[in-house]
Structure 1
Amino acid sequence: MDDKLPETPAYVYDLAQVRANQAALVRALPAKSILYYSLKANPHPDLLAEIRTGGARAEVCSAGELDAALAAGWPPDEVLYTGPGKRDQDLAHAIASGIRRFSVDSVTGLDQLDRIAAIHGVEVRCLLRINDDQPSPGQGLAMTGVASQFGADTSWVLAEPEKFASRPHVTVSGLHLYMGTNLTTVDDLVAQFQRSLDTGVRLCEVLRKHGADMHMLDLGGGFGAPFARAGEAVDLTGLRDELDRMLSGHDLTIAFESGRYLAGTAGTLYTTVLDVKQSHGKRVLVLDSGINHLGGMSGLRRLPPLVPDVRSPGDDLTDAMLAGPLCTPLDLWARSAPVPDVRPGDVLAIPNVGAYGLYASLVAFLGHPLPIEVVVDGDAPPRISRLALTRNPTET
């Protein structure tokens, strides 16, 4: 692909791979379940349109993501608006846009949503997000069982269920549980979903006694895929049988979420070697892409430290430091990564970065040009675009 690129850095997204990932995930989930795509993974318009066509709904957590989902063609009734903190103006924008289903993390969140809905003269429904009392094993990033901005603790809801009852303009209609991300085995996924189901059923029984109309459980996701490393998304063989067994006899509508599994393996970052040198006995490669384009969030512990697999000319691998072009010693992908013998001008490829790549990076830091984004789909002509960073001056 690199010989066809007009420039680097370049993110290349393969829609055929997106379709294959979505088909595999849908086959692994119960027939009547709902699948939400988490836009935070990658909100590129072409990916959104493809995933919407494949039947997934949209999970958003900002006004910008909401606008992207609506622009991609999702009707408002197929959008779930989540997030642990929501500004009044963002809720007002969502409601004015027709959104009527939200996820709420606290009593304060319920009161806020009721107040904004009342101002607009509408009634909305919400899922109460739950922070369970114990974490689930095998998770890549803890989302529950620890002190968190996400959700109301199970113990809190059980102790004061009346505080989580419906309001005049908000009907509490289900629960939202998300225990962890990037689980890499079916056994870990099953264990997570089983615990979420057990907790969800228990809380539904309690909240129904206080007038809540509990009919949906969003069990989250966590479907794993490699990041910046060679490999395939987690093999989901056997998951559907386990979920069908687990959900047998329950009359709740079940929803799942995914971003990484759908988009992760569909993206590759191409970057050009700018310099190769020796420094204190170490081979150092300086690239035209760094933490401003990939892995910047590893410093925020959102992503693990990056030691990327590199595809490039040559077969003999030796260790090298991989640095980007930023004027800071923090701009390192790896202090030691196996890399072929390359020269300035050679193009390297970092695989499996279609999720949490460009859109989870420090793109404003130091003002380097953003990568181009290239969308490919079989023999169709590639579509090339570049994300625009707009400045909004504030008058004082």
Structure 2
Amino acid sequence: MSAASSENNDVLSVGGIDLTRLAGRAGRTPFFAYDRTAIDDRVRSLRNTLPAGVGLHYSIKANPMPAVVHHLATQVDGFDVTSATEMALALNAGMPAGRVGFAGPGKGHDEMRRAIASGINIHLESLAQLHLVTALGWELGVQPSIALRVNPDFHVGHSGMRMGGGATPFGVDASQVPELLRELKACEVALAGFHVFWGSQCLHARTVIDAQRRSADLVMRLADGLATVPRYANLGGGFGIPYFAGEMPLDLAAVAGAMHGWLQQLRERLPGIDVVLELGRYLVGEAGVYVCRVIDRKVSGGRTFLVTDGGLHHHLAASGNFGQVLRRNFPIVIGNRLHDVPAERCHIVGCLCTPLDRLADDVPLPDTHIGDFVVILQSGAYGRSASPTDFLGHPDAIEMLV
């Protein structure tokens, strides 16, 4: 995102288009705008920094806007999906089925059938899923391609959301994998790989380095004694982006530098295996903004409230109701007053009839008026699709890839 000079103010620019023109293109507020150049720059940075041969998969749940998915189909090596809807998005974007992985603890019967018929790699998360896949393969006359999603036997710290280690609905406990591998021998399925997802939204390089090394060690241990080398090892992602004051970007160079040691060992032990990183937020999170307008301004109890036409029904994460324990403000600006000096502290709220509908608390802002643009940065991931869009029946937010 950058500032573009206009006749009266410096205004926010997304994808080289200033905010006024973006609003005109959208037709109204609220809207999300995603910058394809920023997405491309992030992918290029990863390609230039990570060791050669490391594959990049996009986790569609981060942002399933069709235009974003179609654009990324030309940039990444595969997709990871969690539903039949995301599966259809991946295939319609032109990604070959063999480069799509289907994860999730609650895969339905129909979803499994569609995945098997399409040739997608199903990431098994239980013995029951193995039995269902086997039965559906017999029914369809197809040998299903499966990977085992492993709940790792280690814990990580400094992670925004822990996805493995300990009791969890995700994956098969590492201690139970050998038994499941023995069961596989009696099933007519093809073992494509392993999937180890340890956590997400991690900004601490040493934590990522340790988790990747442990994940690689786990894959080597589990694959020991297999008749054939699995095609791939999906080691998850975990790469975070800074949202809040005091947070620093992940040191990607440090993570990449540490990968060489365990990558060499993994490739020597399991010749020909492809190593994949599954990233979502890290690819698109910083490339998006959410824009709404101030529609009212009021003072209550000595505090100034700016009421907008947006809210948590579009951007639940910004309201703090998508996993925050202690509510903190996303980075936020008045998009048509970027260089005005802060003059007051305000609470920015949405249009819903609930006290939970807060977009920012006690934030310093320039003198802000009805009609001004409130812009929430870092909004390219887990925005509209992760929000209760039908709550109270307000208009949906428009989405644009620019």
- Partner residue of 2:61? 40
Match for residue 153 of structure 2 among 130, 133, 146: 133
- Partner residue of 2:168? 148
Q: CA deviation at 1:358?
A: 1.3
Please give the residue correspondences for 1:315-330 in structure 2 after superposition, counting only pairs within 5 Å: 315-330=341-356
Please give the residue correspondences for 1:329-348 in structure 2 after superposition, counting only pairs within 5 Å: 329-348=355-374
- Partner residue of 1:355? 381
SS where residue 70 of structure 2 aligns?
Answer: helix
- CA–CA separation in structure 1 for the residues paired with 2:212 and 2:49: 13
Q: CA deviation at 1:299?
A: 2.6
- CA–CA separation in structure 1 for the residues paired with 2:310 and 2:195: 37
Does the 8 Å contact 1:294/1:357 carry over to 2? yes
Q: CA deviation at 1:99?
A: 2.4
Q: Which runs of 5+ in 1 are unaligned?
A: 377-396
Q: 1:280 to 1:163 in 2, by over 3 A?
A: farther
Residues 74-130 of structure 1 deviation map (CA, whole Å, 9 limit, x = unaligned): 12222111111111111112223x223111111111111111111111012211111
- CA–CA separation in structure 1 for the residues paired with 2:183 and 2:243: 38
- CA–CA separation in structure 2 for the residues paired with 1:303 and 1:112: 37
- Partner residue of 2:136? 116
Q: CA deviation at 1:357?
A: 1.2
Match for residue 310 of structure 2 among 289, 303, 311: 289
Q: CA deviation at 1:146?
A: 2.9
SS where residue 214 of structure 1 aligns?
Answer: coil
- Partner residue of 1:29? 50
Q: 1:302 to 1:62 in 2, by over 3 A?
A: farther
Does the 8 Å contact 1:294/1:361 carry over to 2? yes
- Partner residue of 1:299? 321
- CA–CA separation in structure 2 for the residues paired with 1:113 and 1:298: 38
- Partner residue of 1:264? 285
Match for residue 205 of structure 1 among 224, 235, 239: 224
Residues 330-387 of structure 1 deviation map (CA, whole Å, 9 limit, x = unaligned): 21223333333211111111111111111111111111111112221xxxxxxxxxxx
Does the 8 Å contact 1:295/1:303 carry over to 2? no
- Partner residue of 1:191? 210
Q: 1:300 to 1:241 in 2, by over 3 A?
A: closer
Q: CA deviation at 1:302?
A: 7.3
TM-score, normalising length: structure 2: 0.86
TM-score, normalising length: structure 1: 0.87
SS where residue 248 of structure 1 aligns?
Answer: helix
Q: 1:162 to 1:259 in 2, by over 3 A?
A: closer
Does the 8 Å contact 1:232/1:265 carry over to 2? no
State the one-letter code of the partner of 1:40: K
- CA–CA separation in structure 2 for the residues paired with 1:121 and 1:184: 46
Range that drifts further, 353-362 or 295-304? 295-304
- Partner residue of 2:101? 80
- Partner residue of 1:254? 275
- CA–CA separation in structure 1 for the residues paired with 2:393 and 2:248: 34
Q: 1:242 to 1:356 in 2, by over 3 A?
A: same
Q: CA RMSD in A?
A: 2.3
State the one-letter code of the partner of 2:221: R
Q: CA deviation at 1:317?
A: 5.0
Does the 8 Å contact 2:331/2:378 carry over to 1? no
Match for residue 90 of structure 1 among 111, 126, 129: 111
Q: CA deviation at 1:167?
A: 4.5
- CA–CA separation in structure 2 for the residues paired with 1:374 and 1:229: 28
- Partner residue of 1:50? 71
SS where residue 360 of structure 2 aligns?
Answer: strand
- CA–CA separation in structure 2 for the residues paired with 1:231 and 1:367: 36
- Partner residue of 2:6? none
- CA–CA separation in structure 2 for the residues paired with 1:325 and 1:261: 30
Q: CA deviation at 1:248?
A: 0.9
Match for residue 84 of structure 2 among 63, 71, 91: 63
Does the 8 Å contact 2:330/2:378 carry over to 1? no
Q: CA deviation at 1:172?
A: 2.7
State the one-letter code of the partner of 1:287: T
- Partner residue of 2:4? none
Residues 150-179 of structure 1 deviation map (CA, whole Å, 9 limit, x = unaligned): 011122335x35555345332233211111
Q: CA deviation at 1:329?
A: 1.8
State the one-letter code of the partner of 2:61: K
- CA–CA separation in structure 1 for the residues paired with 2:169 and 2:388: 23
- CA–CA separation in structure 2 for the residues paired with 1:87 and 1:303: 31
Does the 8 Å contact 1:60/1:79 carry over to 2? yes
Q: 1:123 to 1:349 in 2, by over 3 A?
A: same
Match for residue 238 of structure 1 among 254, 257, 266: 254
Does the 8 Å contact 1:35/1:255 carry over to 2? yes
Q: Which runs of 5+ in 2 are unaligned?
A: 1-17
Alignment length (residue pairs): 371
State the one-letter code of the partner of 2:215: S
State the one-letter code of the partner of 1:267: G
Does the 8 Å contact 1:61/1:83 carry over to 2? yes
- CA–CA separation in structure 2 for the residues paired with 1:358 and 1:41: 10
- CA–CA separation in structure 2 for the residues paired with 1:347 and 1:228: 21
Does the 8 Å contact 2:291/2:375 carry over to 1? yes
